[in-house]
Amino acid sequence: MTQIRYRTADVDGFKVFYREAGSPRSPKLLLLHGFPSSGHMFRDLIPLLADRFHIVAPDLPGFGQSDMPDRAAFQYSFDNLARVIDRFTEVIGFNRYAVYVFDYGAPTGFRLALRHPERIAAIISQNGNAYVDGLSDGWNPIRAYWQEPSAANREALRAILTPETTRWQYVHGVADETLVSPDGYMLDSHYLARPGADEVQLDLFLDYASNVALYPEFQAYFRKHRPPFLAVWGKNDPFFLPPGAEAFRRDLPDAEIRFFDTGHFALETHAREIADAIRVFLAQ
């Protein structure tokens, strides 16, 4: 049985909750979750890798069990998410690590790489986008909010925060929905229902435009530093399309690209296959 410890770190007064497993003497692996999830999304992956890696999976600020301060005290932007997680890695002694990025975890993790390229041993991207090629038409309502951040366009996005939409994100593109545990999307819906959580997420929808603006810088980082790179992609993802995975090869010709017949939350159905791919990739 793998022991997983559930800890909190004081990051300059900000409480970051995280899951930790594996020996501190093993190579380090940082897992960064996406919207609207938490480190809980890695519950099946961590036991499959903990014999080989020292794994840490924090909840991003405003997500899961990490602090969700009032918007008047903390600006919910991807720069700030990355700033807190960057300091978190320093507090827990992650001075060089491979990083697994998914969804919101990708622009967070890629910002860490821009700031400290010497700390990044490798990148695993599971539906973590860095190219316009990967953005589907499912982003159009959010794009409209970027172009005109009106109250009406903000209000229109509340439909994305409903339990029905959260469940849809988990099961869309999955051949057999009975393989998807309701625990993940029910827990996400619980966190989204907390007072003020809706406004936090709407702020981040607006700020996601900053990630697209940084795509050229992320791509320049890939070309300059050539980190070992593995994409493990749910090919039926309604938000991040397969061309977004294939685009990494433009800047990282040696990138390994693996597609799985599943949706956005690929770990719900393919945790073992993804773990096997990671073990081979990081053993090279």
Which residues have a catalytic role annotated?
264
Task: Tell me which residue has tokens 């890939």.
Answer: 222
Please say whether the dihedral angle defined by the alpha carbons of residues 124, 130, 131 and 133, taken in this order, is positive or negative.
positive
Residues 139, 142: Cα–Cα separation, whole Å: 5
Is 241 strand, coil or helix? coil
Q: Is 164 exposed, middle or buried (0-12, 13-18, 19+ CB in 10 A)?
A: exposed
CB 112 within 8 A of CB 119: yes
CA distance 174 to 193: 26
Cα 246 to its chain centre, rounded Å, is: 18
Q: Is the peptide bond before 36 cis (omega within 30 degrees of 0)?
A: yes
